[in-house]
Amino acid sequence: IKITFIDAEGTARTVEAEEGSTVMETAIRNGIPGIEAECGGACSCATCHVYVAEEWEAATGQPQPMEEDMLDFAYDVRPNSRLSCQIRVRPELDGLVVHTPTRQG
Ligand code: FES
């Protein structure tokens, strides 16, 4: 399952993700810049904020209420903002593209 992270400068990095892990864990494991994930995936830091590419918004779905609340603490939140620790990797997300923000928090 491939996931592409595009940073604020437009540099794309495509990495292999494991089914059942999260997009955040995939980023950390692969040293993707721009994802801090201070809370380690507990949905309580908002420093794993990403923007889901338009064509992937339907597949990744909407944030749960707890994630929605936490997103209020993220920087430059947009309609396609998600916390990447709350996006579970599954086969349907093969090819997923997310953008990392200019900064976290
Ligand atoms: Fe902290 Fe996602 S890693 S909210």
Give residue-wise pLDDT tens across range 92-104: 999 999 999 999 9
Tell me, what's the pLDDT at 36? 96
Q: Which two tokens stand for residue 65?
A: 């209420």
104, 34 Cβ separation under 8 angstroms = yes
Question: Distance, CA 75 to ligand 1 centroid (Å)?
Answer: 13
Tell me, what's the pLDDT at 11? 98
Question: Distance, CA 52 to ligand 1 centroid (Å)?
Answer: 16
Annotate 48-97 with three-state secondary structure.
Answer: CEEEECHHHHHHHCCCCHHHHHHHCCCCCCCCCEEEHHHCECCHHHCCEE
Question: Distance, CA 104 to ligand 1 centroid (Å)?
Answer: 11
Q: Give the domain ranges of the chain.
A: 2-99
ipTM over 0.90: yes
Pocket, ligand 1, Cβ cutoff 6 A: 24, 37-39, 41-48, 70, 83, 85
Q: Give the pLDDT band (50/70/90) at residue 105.
A: confident
- The pLDDT tens digits for 41-81 are 999 999 999 999 999 999 999 999 999 999 999 999 999 99
Please state which CATH number belongs to domain 2-99: 3.10.20.30
- Residue in 77, 83, 104 to alter for ligand 1 test, most ligand atoms within 8 A of Cβ: 83
Name the helix (H) or strand (E) containing 15. Answer: strand 12-16
